[in-house]
Amino acid sequence: MSDQNLSITLTVNGLERELGVNRVDCLLDVLRSAGYKSVKRGCDTGDCGMCVVLMNGQPVRSCMLRAVEIDGAAVTTVEGLVAPDGTLHPIQRAFVETGAIQCGFCTPAQMLLAKALIDSNPNPTEADIRQVMNSAHCRCTGYVRLVEAVQRAAAMMRGEEVPPVSHIALTLPGPGDPLELPEPYYRQGQYATSGPLPPLVYTPPEMAQTEFVGAPQVKVDAVKLAKGYPVFTDDVLPENTLIGALLTSPHAHARIKSIDTGKAEALPGVHAVLTYKNVERVKYATGGQSWPQPEPYDQVVFDDKVRHVGDRVAAVAADDARIARRALRLIKVEYEILPPVVDMVEAMQPGAPVIHDEPDTEGIYDAQRNIVYHIEAETGNIESAFAEADHVFEGEYLTPKQQHVNLEPHVCVTYWDEDDRMVIRSSTQVPFHVRRIVAPLIGLPIKRIRVIKPRIGGGFGNKQEILLEDICALLTIRTGRPVRMEYTRTQEFNASRSRHPNIIRYKVGVKDNIVTAMDLYLLGDTGAYGTHGLTVQMVGGFKGLTLYNPPNARFISDVMYTNTPPSGAFRGYGSMQCQYGVEVIMEEIADQLGLDVVEFKRNNWIKIGEPMYLSKSLGEGREGYEQNLATSGMADCLRIGLEATDYYAKREQFKNQNGRIRRGIGFAVMMHGSAIAGLDMAAATLKMNDDGSFNLLIGATDIGTGSDTILAQIASEVLGIPVEDLIVYSSDTDFTPFDKGAYASSTTYLSGMAVRKAALKIKDMLLAHAAFMLEIDDPNSLTLADRRVTAPDGRSVTLEDIGLSSFHVENQHQIMATDSHVSYVSPPPTAAQFVEVAVDMETGQINTERLLMVVDCGRVINPITAAGQVEGGISQALGFALTEEMLFDAEGQPINPRIGPYYIPRASDMPPTDVIFVQTDEPSGPYGAKSVAEISIDGVGPAMVSAVHNATGVWMRQLPLTPERVWRSLNGK
Ligand code: FES
């Protein structure tokens, strides 16, 4: 049988299609080539489940099936669920309504799994649903709203009425008043069968009422994602697009002695080959941060030295993926293999291999000892405080190298437009930083580059890096053709970014049961390149010493190069590592002093009005600003969590258990930040249309978080119009105003304020034009609500009237405004995380029985999307606490660079996961909002350690708590 030009017939979504295939083509590729772009690629090993379709009604992984072997089959994709008139299938409706769609990359697979399940079992249990969902991962949702969506869809398909999806709103009682807590939030009885709960929102009675802000608005992009429209980077390719592919290093540390690309270049269908020999050596750093990025600029596009397995060696552009892969195999590289160092402690020892010995990198703290950064900051007098303390405690805590596992890999498409400008369509969190950082690498001025961010299939910090855009653009420059490049899943593990592993050493002085001194030494592993190494540790030091904010504190950090894939930005950003350390040592101290840990923490945590002592010396990469804590809901978060979990009774009950399975409960308190004070800027534009609708143009980057929606809600609140009257567009460097991008928990707080300011300008313009139309002298006497401006005498004009008048009739002008926002404070959201576990004393296996987070994120702009952020963060935190760790052998070879063996939580790994909000009114935030995305990941690790200690009496100091580690600790090994 020839490899080429075979033909098969498939019935796809009820239509018979004759499709040309190659003998080795998988069904996934054939379907995507035929236009069924809802079928996604997240790996090629059958691990991720993004490519699930229904074949003859049964779910199959289309990447694992050869198309020629299923000739004649009937295939269903999500496009086939939509009725011809565009009406959504009940499953699609349920996913939209419940908030089950965040980034939407897993959504098609999850909906098809739901369909197969409900078709065979119209009334599935929660366990049935979770079991089926195990076939496709979701990294965004924690599966809470996914389970709810399938339950709702099943009810709809059984013909039952379903209530509107909403949250539960309650008034927050005063400190001494009894707490009203709905019964299900106590989670009594059988945890596993009690189902997802709606988010619960407590509001202080004095907080102002809002209309659109605070409502459970459906995400503005949910329907197109539910329909499987081609909205992701890889879904739309220009004609004649070449396929780029990357050759990466098989060695952790080596010098390239020679590289021969002759055979690859001669291969028919190959159009360009790039190596260090034909690409200019321009120093840069890949971290997508504001200008100027912290030194050192320790990377070049291609180097003659490789510093980790997965480091760049060469790239090709070819007619198709098969030719590109073949060309990579034809590149002959001769390496001088150098000894690697993969351990951050060994890396600083005398005689360790020097990773950055190149002469042209400036700004490494001590290159000979592989120390890229050394940070020191201090407040008060730490030594005298230790000398005067009643007790001094010390503890060392270790955290793992965690991978983001964003299910959409890094992918970008580059092409020249008709004005000879370079267009970069990229799955990025930072389109404006991409434009600025790529410009010198590809030799074009910023004005000749346009970066477009389509829908993004998850980022979590990993896409705050410039990883493929430079190479892809260079290949377009070399060939004159559009080029598409995408990381393989192995490259996601080996060549993208990950969380910094840390060794965290705390020394804590306590006098009269008050923490008077805290010393934190933080050793961080940035891997082969510096990128976010400085800022992650600075944030870690700041948050790790500010949660309890002793007046005497010292922070020292060394950030190490090792021959492992670079660490970078990852949700939590140093803060989660150090708050894990400080929360566990606070537990240990209370345990040793015989104190109630709740009281001990409550007496010591930072209080409203206190200065954050290190806010100035530990800015993010530069000096920061003096800040005080303006709002905190921590006391209420803890109080509610204690009540909802019956913490004290269980804590007592679980002490001194016997038997194989022992249960435990623990908690942690956390604080995070909202944007980077005085550094990052966001802007927004509102532009009116003839019919009274508005375009909301935002540089802020919705990567699945729902930021497009909540920013629209903020504009709605100011303008008195429903969200459906706003056409939201993010982000395109040609058409949307600057925004630093999606990171640092900044979008709601910073971009939200920019939207509010722009909307207030628009409001003034609307009132002015309405006053002109109504012949009223004082525009401020008018009111704007319900799409209309009304005068005190009752006369009114609609926004459509104003649009038509201002465009076409009188005092003609464009009603349009742009505003921007910088904040010199970064108000911390606060929270309490509760964890309940059962530990198998014979195997060390931990079964998580319940996760509850009570969160103060200021004003909750959208309870459903905010809860989704928390639920997703909690599930990533559970992976961090229990299973996720990138492992390397002594030669720096990755041991588990696949989704399967790396192991992120699946649907059935997630216990009941509940979210309760306690609103506070942050004066510097839009309508009182702070951030929510990152604090959600900070607490599970320490709360888990606390719970395991409650169950077993053993303190675990190294994450993740794998069964082997727990077993060893239980057995004193
Ligand atoms: Fe599931 Fe993003 S919504 S991976």
pLDDT tens column, 571-617: 999 999 999 999 999 999 999 999 999 999 999 999 999 999 999 99
Q: Residue 191 pLDDT > 60, yes or no?
A: no
Which atom of ligand 1 is nearest the CA belonging to 139?
Answer: 4
Give 149 Cα–ligand 1 centroid separation in angstroms.
14
Of 668, 634, 666, residue with least CA distance to 650: 666
Q: Grade residue 619 by pLDDT with cuts at 50, 70 and 90.
A: confident
Beta pairing class for 411-416 and 483-486? antiparallel
Candidates 40, 103, 148: which one to mutate for ligand 1, based on the most atoms within 8 Å of Cβ?
A: 103
pLDDT of residue 282: 98
Any idea which residue has 């997508």 for tokens? 288
Q: What is the DSSP letter of 807?
A: I
- Residue nearest (by alpha carbon) to ligand 1 atom 4: 138
Give 188 Cα–ligand 1 centroid separation in angstroms.
30
Q: Grade residue 884 by pLDDT with cuts at 50, 70 and 90.
A: very high
Give 64 Cα–ligand 1 centroid separation in angstroms.
21
3-state secondary structure of 818: strand
Which atom of ligand 1 is nearest the CA belonging to 101?
Answer: 3
Give 458 Cα–ligand 1 centroid separation in angstroms.
7
Of 482, 462, 473, 412, residue with least CA distance to 440: 473
CB environment 234-250: b (16+ within 10 A), e (fewer): bbebbeebbbbbbbbbe
Which atom of ligand 1 is nearest the CA belonging to 100?
Answer: 3
Give 476 Cα–ligand 1 centroid separation in angstroms.
31
Q: How far apart are CA 879 and CA 902, in angstroms?
A: 10
Q: What is the pLDDT of residues 407-418, one digit of tens each?
A: 999 999 999 999
**Rounded mean pLDDT of the chain?**
96
Candidates 51, 111, 133, 138: which one to mutate for ligand 1, based on the most atoms within 8 Å of Cβ?
A: 138
CB 621 within 8 A of CB 918: no
Sorted by sequence, the CB contacts under 8 Å of residue 148 that are 6+ apart come out as 98, 100, 195, 196
Candidates 41, 52, 105, 111: which one to mutate for ligand 1, based on the most atoms within 8 Å of Cβ?
A: 105
Beta pairing class for 846-856 and 913-918? parallel
CB 157 within 8 A of CB 189: no
- Phi and psi (nearest 5°) for 279? -125, 130
Give 547 Cα–ligand 1 centroid separation in angstroms.
31
Q: What is the pLDDT of residues 247-301, one digit of tens each?
A: 999 999 999 999 999 999 999 999 999 999 999 999 999 999 999 999 999 999 9
Give 916 Cα–ligand 1 centroid separation in angstroms.
22
Give 105 Cα–ligand 1 centroid separation in angstroms.
5
What number is the average pLDDT over the span 163-172? 96
Q: How far apart are CA 891 and CA 492, in angstroms?
A: 20
In this prediction the pTM is: 0.97
3-state secondary structure of 542: helix
Task: Give the ranges where 395-550 is alpha helix by DSSP (H).
Answer: 431-442, 469-479, 489-495, 533-546
Give 498 Cα–ligand 1 centroid separation in angstroms.
19
Two tokens, residue 621 = 């990469």
Two tokens, residue 829 = 């959201």
Candidates 133, 141, 463: which one to mutate for ligand 1, based on the most atoms within 8 Å of Cβ?
A: 141
Distances (CA, A) of 659 to 662, 798, 945, 952: 7, 72, 20, 11
Give 484 Cα–ligand 1 centroid separation in angstroms.
23
Two tokens, residue 771 = 């006053």
Any idea which residue has 């729902």 for tokens? 706
Q: Grade residue 668 by pLDDT with cuts at 50, 70 and 90.
A: very high
> Which residues does residue 17 pair with via DSSP β-bridges, in sequence order?
10
pLDDT of residue 312: 98
Q: Residue 539 pLDDT > 80, yes or no?
A: yes
- Residue nearest (by alpha carbon) to ligand 1 atom 2: 103
Give 866 Cα–ligand 1 centroid separation in angstroms.
15
Q: What is the pLDDT of residues 933-972, one digit of tens each?
A: 999 999 999 999 999 999 999 999 999 999 999 999 999 8
pLDDT of residue 175: 85
What number is the average pLDDT over the span 479-488? 98
CB 745 within 8 A of CB 752: no
Q: Grade residue 2 by pLDDT with cuts at 50, 70 and 90.
A: very low
Q: How far apart are CA 738 and CA 369, in angstroms?
A: 39
Burial class (CB in 10 A: 0-12, 13-18, 19+), 772: middle
Give 244 Cα–ligand 1 centroid separation in angstroms.
26
Two tokens, residue 857 = 């994120």
CB 355 within 8 A of CB 365: no
Q: What is the pLDDT of residues 328-381, one digit of tens each?
A: 999 999 999 999 999 999 999 999 999 999 999 999 999 999 999 999 999 999
Which atom of ligand 1 is nearest the CA belonging to 102?
Answer: 3
Q: How far apart are CA 123 and CA 150, in angstroms?
A: 10
What is the residue-wise DSSP string for 175-213?
A: TTSPP---GGGG--S-GGGS-----EEEE-TTSPP-SST
Q: Grade residue 84 by pLDDT with cuts at 50, 70 and 90.
A: very high
Give 107 Cα–ligand 1 centroid separation in angstroms.
7
Give 789 Cα–ligand 1 centroid separation in angstroms.
41
Which atom of ligand 1 is nearest the CA belonging to 704?
Answer: 2
Question: pLDDT above 90 covers what percent of the chain?
Answer: 96
Q: How many CB atoms lie within 10 A of CB 479?
A: 17
- Residue nearest (by alpha carbon) to ligand 1 atom 1: 138
Q: Grade residue 656 by pLDDT with cuts at 50, 70 and 90.
A: confident
Q: What is the pLDDT of residues 817-875, one digit of tens each?
A: 999 999 999 999 999 999 999 999 999 999 999 999 999 999 999 999 999 999 999 99
pLDDT of residue 194: 64
Of 547, 545, 287, 537, residue with least CA distance to 428: 287
In the chain the first and final C-alpha atoms are separated, in Å, by 59
Q: How far apart are CA 137 and CA 150, in angstroms?
A: 15
Q: What is the pLDDT of residues 86-111, one digit of tens each?
A: 999 999 999 999 999 999 999 999 99
Q: How many CB atoms lie within 10 A of CB 816?
A: 16
CB 232 within 8 A of CB 408: yes
Q: Residue 189 pLDDT > 80, yes or no?
A: no
Q: Grade residue 192 by pLDDT with cuts at 50, 70 and 90.
A: very low
Candidates 139, 150, 219, 875: which one to mutate for ligand 1, based on the most atoms within 8 Å of Cβ?
A: 139
Give 275 Cα–ligand 1 centroid separation in angstroms.
35
Greatest distance between any 2 Cα atoms in the chain: 86
Of 401, 392, 237, residue with least CA distance to 319: 237
What number is the average pLDDT over the span 536-553? 97
Give 247 Cα–ligand 1 centroid separation in angstroms.
29
pLDDT of residue 44: 83
Any idea which residue has 């805290």 for tokens? 518
Give 224 Cα–ligand 1 centroid separation in angstroms.
14
Sorted by sequence, the CB contacts under 8 Å of residue 787 that are 6+ apart come out as 692, 720, 721, 722, 725, 798, 799, 800
Among 178-192, 550-564, 691-705, the least confident range: 178-192
Candidates 38, 40, 47, 106: which one to mutate for ligand 1, based on the most atoms within 8 Å of Cβ?
A: 106
Which atom of ligand 1 is nearest the CA belonging to 103?
Answer: 2
Which atom of ligand 1 is nearest the CA belonging to 407?
Answer: 4
Q: CA 918, 924, 928, 933: dihedral to nearest 10 degrees?
A: -60
Q: What is the pLDDT of residues 288-337, one digit of tens each?
A: 999 999 999 999 999 999 999 999 999 999 999 999 999 999 999 999 99
Ligand 1 pocket by C-beta < 6 Å: which residues?
102-106, 138-141, 407, 458, 704
